[in-house]
């Protein structure tokens, strides 16, 4: 078909995008591999090649394991909880009740706020003593010492919750659009065959939502693996290293500790982790979607 | 049976209301607090007791709202125009040519989505310096365009493949239209639905981004809205004035909220163009 109509010369159309993409994205990524075997500090002109020392050091220290673990928890919880809550909201708003249009818009509003604004709002919600949750419990007469962001055991989950809150509107809208493509005669047929609402959901709706599920899960997976905003804005990675995600650790290593070589090595490792997890997942999902 | 149905519907309504209220509580309380005078430090849980624009006035002045708004408009507007042009053009061969190269290009662009900008920041800054691109308030535009390409080309390529029949192009070809003319007069106008989607998805993240702005913009007068927010968090000497901070939060979000209010259909439709057709 690439005959006289679809000429090969249309490749020229990709040139402006390719120039930008190669110059400002691909080339810097390749430099990362180069810097990962140097002792470059990020600003000095001179640096030395030190072989795999950065990698060895990373594998010997705790920070790699801690950041990796935090990132995986962050990703796992946002993917699972985010999609379940998003789907539940979509199912709820897909029912024939009054004012669904307004509810839909309201549920979408948090996605419009900048991460900075969301971080500030939730810092207030979580603040000890005067914050929303603490002062509300005080009102109820429950004395509390809650410090969501300052406590090792709750800090990570607290920022995960914020991430879910911010992204749930998008997830829900995509599920809703998927639900609206489910043909109503198929649901009718199911009901006549005696399916309850759970079985309708499990055996009719969810299989037909395969595309929406793939999109939502893929987006939240990538989003989670790249997590940076809320550790940066709300906790500075703390307390201790409790909310150090891979990307936050890289940022801190490069700019606070000025170990750009080591940060690059961690970048290369993170890059591999992200690529492998995403690729395995996308391949699996695609297989499922076809067979479903 | 009918009673159960009525009860069922009623309880669904209650559940939806409850869920929405819970979801929006932080926003409601922040909004109510922002309507208090900066000096009012009573418990914010007492909602809408005061109607003062004092905090808004303070926030408006401190973030230099008109300048910040203008900076946001310029940054987002210019970036989005280029994203639409570059991504639509690049997607054309990727959707139309069925060669190994076009398949590779599609995946090549898409794979950029998994790389976080924070990771490659220093090489990016070096590149910008090496090319003698001056670092000022417009420098982030280069990065906004670049980082928008993976998702935008994904949306455009999918749409051209499934939504623009090759026959219309053949007709134009027979009428003697060249490739360039054919793309801009026949194909591009048919891409309006997905262009809306690209403008909204990319426009929202660019508008809200603080990271690239933080890296490249140093003077306060050049800050777009999200960056202007950074000045409101207090420290030991000047504890955070929450009333003013919340007012600033809403001022920062106001333009997008207004856009959403008037263009809801496009926002919600735009999110799903790529998602459902995939």
Q: Is residue A74 part of a domain?
A: yes
Min Cα–Cα distance to chain B from A17, Å: 5
pLDDT band at residue A2 using 50, 70 and 90 as cut-offs: very low
Q: Is residue A20 part of a domain?
A: no
Most A CBs within 10 Å, among B98, B102, B104, B116, to test the A interface? B116
Whichever domain contains A111, its CATH number is: 1.10.3720.10
Q: Percent of chain B, pLDDT > 90?
A: 46
User: A26 pLDDT exceeds 90?
Assistant: yes
* Total number of domains in chain A: 1
The domains of chain B are located at 2-56, 64-241+248-277
Q: Is residue A230 part of a domain?
A: yes
Q: Which CATH class is domain B64-241+248-277?
A: mainly alpha
Question: Which of A32, A114, A173 lies nearest to residue B226, judging by beta carbons?
Answer: A114
Q: Is residue A97 part of a domain?
A: yes
The angle subtended at Cα A254 by Cα A249 and Cα A259, nearest 5°, is 110
- Which residue of chain A comes nearest to B115, CA vs CA? A271
Question: Are B159 and B193 in contact, with CB atoms under 8 Å apart?
Answer: yes
Of A203, A213, A204, nearest in space to A177 by CA: A213
Over residues A144-153, the pLDDT tens digits come to 778 889 888 8
Contact list, A112 vs chain B (CB under 8 Å): 204, 208, 253, 256-257, 260
Contact B118 A4 (CB under 8 A): no
Q: How far apart are CA B193 and CA B273, in angstroms?
A: 8
Contact A247 B116 (CB under 8 A): yes
Q: How far apart are CA B254 and CA B262, in angstroms?
A: 12
Q: Is residue A218 part of a domain?
A: yes
Q: How far apart are CA B246 and CA B55, in angstroms?
A: 8
pLDDT band at residue B1 using 50, 70 and 90 as cut-offs: very low
Element of type H or E holding B149: helix B140-163
Over residues B225-250, the pLDDT tens digits come to 999 888 787 666 667 788 888 999 99
- Which residue of chain B comes nearest to A255, CA vs CA? B122
Min Cα–Cα distance to chain A from B97, Å: 6
Question: Which of B169, B232, B264 lies nearest to residue A5, judging by beta carbons?
Answer: B169
Over residues B190-207, the pLDDT tens digits come to 999 999 999 999 999 999
Over residues B255-273, the pLDDT tens digits come to 999 999 998 888 887 777 6
Contact B122 A254 (CB under 8 A): yes
Residue A49, beta-bridge partner list:
A38
- What is the reported pLDDT for B203? 94
Taking each continuous run of H as one helix and of E as one strand, the counts in chain A are: 15, 0
- What is the reported pLDDT for A289? 62
A26 compared with B48, residue with greater pLDDT:
A26
Question: Which of A31, A116, A139 lies nearest to residue B45, judging by beta carbons?
Answer: A139
Min Cα–Cα distance to chain B from A133, Å: 10
Q: Percent of chain A, pLDDT > 90?
A: 50
Proportion of chain A in helix, strand, coil states, percent, rounded to 5 = 70, 0, 25
Most A CBs within 10 Å, among B123, B191, B259, to test the A interface? B123
Question: Are A252 and A234 in contact, with CB atoms under 8 Å apart?
Answer: no
Q: Of A5-9, A257-261, B199-203, which gets the smallest average pLDDT?
A: A5-9
B32-42: b (≥16 Cβ within 10 Å) or e: bbbbbbbeeee
Over residues A111-129, the pLDDT tens digits come to 999 999 999 999 989 988 8
Q: What are phi and psi of A279, to 5 degrees?
A: -65, -50
Domain that holds residue A76: 58-291
Cis peptide before A239 (omega within 30 of 0): yes
User: A276 pLDDT exceeds 90?
Assistant: yes
Q: Is residue A51 part of a domain?
A: no
Q: What are phi and psi of B40, to 5 degrees?
A: -80, 110
Question: Which of B118, B173, B271 lies nearest to residue A173, judging by beta carbons?
Answer: B271
Of B211, B193, B94, B70, nearest in space to B149 by CA: B94
Name the pTM for this structure: 0.90
For the residues of A207-270, what is the DSSP string, one character each?
HHTHHHHHHHHHHHHHHHHT--HHIIIIITT-STTTT--HHHHHHHHHHTS--HHHHHHHHHHH
- Which residue of chain B comes nearest to A113, CA vs CA? B253
Contact B233 A105 (CB under 8 A): no
Q: What are phi and psi of A49, to 5 degrees?
A: -85, 125
Of B111, B194, B108, nearest in space to A282 by CA: B111
Q: Of A166-170, A207-211, A287-291, B153-157, which gets the smallest average pLDDT?
A: A287-291
Question: Are B142 and B131 in contact, with CB atoms under 8 Å apart?
Answer: no
**What's the N-to-C CA distance of chain A in angstroms?**
31
Over residues B138-190, the pLDDT tens digits come to 999 999 999 999 999 999 999 999 888 888 888 888 888 888 899 999 999 99
- What is the reported pLDDT for B235? 65
Give the mean pLDDT of A229-252. Answer: 92
Q: What are phi and psi of A38, to 5 degrees?
A: -125, 170
Q: Is residue A9 part of a domain?
A: no
For the residues of A129-149, what is the DSSP string, one character each?
TTSHHHHHHHHTT------TT
């Amino acid at each position: 078909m690439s005959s006289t109509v679809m000429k090969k010369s249309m490749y020229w159309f990709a040139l402006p995008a390719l120039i930008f993409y190669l110059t400002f994205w691909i080339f810097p990524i390749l430099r990362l591999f180069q810097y990962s075997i140097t002792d470059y500090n990020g600003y000095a002109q001179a640096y030395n090649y030190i072989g795999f020392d950065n990698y060895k050091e990373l594998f010997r220290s705790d920070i790699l394991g801690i950041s990796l673990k935090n990132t995986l928890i962050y990703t796992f919880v946002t993917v699972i909880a985010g999609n379940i809550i998003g789907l539940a909201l979509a199912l709820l708003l897909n029912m024939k009740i009054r004012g669904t249009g307004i509810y839909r818009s309201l549920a979408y509003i948090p996605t419009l706020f900048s991460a900075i604004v969301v971080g500030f709002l939730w810092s207030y919600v979580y603040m000890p003593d005067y914050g929303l949750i603490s002062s509300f419990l005080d009102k109820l007469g429950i004395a509390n010492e809650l410090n969501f962001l300052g406590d090792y055991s709750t800090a990570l989950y607290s920022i995960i919750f914020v991430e879910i809150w911010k992204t749930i509107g998008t997830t829900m809208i995509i599920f809703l659009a998927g639900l609206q493509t489910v043909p109503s005669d198929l649901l009718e047929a199911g009901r006549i065959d005696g399916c309850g609402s759970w079985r309708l959901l499990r055996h009719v709706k969810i299989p037909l939502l395969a595309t929406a599920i793939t999109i939502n899960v893929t987006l939240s997976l990538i989003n989670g693996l790249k997590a940076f905003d809320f550790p940066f804005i709300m906790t500075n990675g703390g307390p201790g290293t409790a909310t150090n995600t891979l990307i936050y650790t890289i940022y801190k290593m490069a700019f606070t500790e000025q170990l750009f070589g080591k940060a690059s090595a961690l970048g290369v490792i993170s890059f591999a982790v992200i690529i492998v997890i995403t690729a395995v997942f996308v391949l699996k999902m695609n297989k499922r979607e076809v067979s479903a | 049976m009918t009673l159960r149905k009525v009860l069922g519907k009623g309880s669904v309504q209650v559940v939806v209301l409850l869920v929405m209220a819970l979801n929006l509580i932080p926003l409601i309380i922040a909004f109510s607090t922002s309507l208090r005078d900066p000096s009012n430090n009573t418990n914010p849980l007492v909602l809408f007791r005061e109607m003062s624009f004092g905090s808004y006035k303070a926030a408006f002045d401190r973030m230099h709202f008109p300048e910040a708004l203008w900076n946001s408009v310029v940054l987002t507007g210019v970036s989005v125009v280029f994203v639409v042009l570059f991504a639509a053009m690049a997607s054309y061969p990727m959707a139309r040519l069925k060669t190994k190269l076009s398949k590779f290009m599609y995946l090549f662009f898409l794979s950029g989505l998994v790389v976080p900008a924070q990771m490659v920041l220093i090489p990016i800054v070096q590149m910008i310096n090496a090319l003698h691109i001056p670092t000022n308030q417009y420098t982030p535009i280069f990065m906004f365009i670049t980082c928008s390409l993976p998702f935008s080309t994904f949306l455009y390529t999918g749409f051209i493949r499934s939504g623009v029949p090759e026959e219309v192009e053949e007709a134009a070809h027979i009428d003697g239209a060249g490739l360039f003319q054919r793309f801009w007069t026949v194909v591009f106008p048919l891409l309006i639905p997905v262009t809306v989607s690209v403008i909204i998805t990319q426009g929202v993240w660019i508008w809200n981004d603080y990271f690239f702005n933080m890296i490249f913009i140093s003077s306060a007068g050049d800050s777009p809205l999200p960056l202007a927010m950074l000045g409101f968090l207090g420290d030991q000497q000047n504890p955070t004035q929450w009333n003013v901070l919340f007012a600033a939060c809403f001022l920062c979000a106001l333009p997008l909220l207004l856009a959403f209010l008037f263009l809801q259909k496009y926002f919600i439709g735009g999110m799903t163009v790529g998602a459902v057709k995939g």
